[in-house]
Structure 1
Amino acid sequence: MRSHKPDQSGGRTPSPVRQSIRVLVVLFAMVVGTLPSIGAAQAHGTIINPASRAYQCWKTWGNQHMNPVMQQQDPMCWQAFQANPDTMWNWMSQLRDGLAGQYQARTPDGQLCSNALSRNNSLNQPGAWKATNVSPNFTVQLYDQASHGADYFRVYVTKQGFNRSTQQVGWGNLDLIATTGRYAPAQNISFNVSASGRSGEHVLFVIWKASHLDQTYMWCSDINIT
């Protein structure tokens, strides 16, 4: 049997097959090392109180999204799951890049609740979305998995008389009620807002300008001001 010749270090010279495997392993490691962290890139957040539409549907029905009773008990979540279940599974990833603060110019009326993302168009549909009861002065809470921090939040609420059951949210339906300052990176960020002068059912619309990149998040939360 023919033996391998020893190399200069006293070991055996690897076979061509082993050399090829080693090269492939090294190349694979180099490629993996250059890939961005997909988990971190997709791990963002949403308004969890008052719950954004996608988050409310996921929290309520995520474990039983095939349950037919949803169609009667929560018809807006039902239509959202029928349109695209990924809208709910990725409740933390409703973002657009590079808006440079041009929110109104680049977000058409009727597409605010989806952040103008066609895959989330079900969130724009008017109807009997489940609402969170709040007082005229209440706290908004963001949960951010990746702790990006915020350059600011802009908070709007629909005008008195807006009918969320029949109307899509447009810029003309909203009043700006708060613009916050910066927030350091944290998973949980809360701030107080006032919707005084309003009562009954409304839509809360929040813009989050994240600090790490030019990434903008927009959500609608349904509220009942008592």
Structure 2
Amino acid sequence: MRKSLTFLSATLVVAFVVVPGWVAGRGADGSLRPAFVAWWRSGSGALSPELTRIVDHWFRYHVVKGLIAALLLVVLIVLGTRVAGWALVPVVALGSLALVSVMANLQGAVAPFASLFPLLSADDLRGPAAALRAGTRSPALRVMIDDYTAYHAAMVGAAGLVAVALVVAVVVLVRRRAPWPAVAVAALVATGALVLTVANVTTTLDPEPGLLGLLDGGW
């Protein structure tokens, strides 16, 4: 059983890298920047067909990637119940990475448009940044603010749940007398999740300063 779970874990790691782009289909073809600029200049509160196609592509990408990461996490949890001692260290480390990936891809699936903002250049974002700084609230800018808020609200829920789950994991690992690196990894990721939760609560409640920092190149 242990060998089967190890093989399945390795297979899922490969799938995590290869499958999402294949399933999501066409969309990451370099057309984001012109599509975004054209949409912004239109001032519309509805995404253009071209921009919608790109956003839909990344939504599918994040959903598939998140599902594979979640499946990998389940397999690693089961594997972790069947190993002991130093064998727990790589399982906990890979499980922590899978957990973080589930969290990040959930965020991307909830707000796929906002997840694309870091892919845009400073020139692409100059118009939205100037409008936000001037206090102008066009329908297009409102869409950006709303999606950015949803992006961080999703991380509040995901990071909060992860923090709770990892605190429980730390307790379990200590009771099992797991090697200190395994406990340290789980505790470190739990601490990071708590910090991330607090940071994203702040941004969700007051999104505009954070969005302006992103538009100005501070992602």
Q: TM-score, normalised by structure 1?
A: 0.26
Higher CA-based Rg: 1
User: Between Structure 1 and Structure 2, which shows a larger proportion of helix residues?
Assistant: 2
| Bigger strand fraction | 1
TM-score (norm 2): 0.27
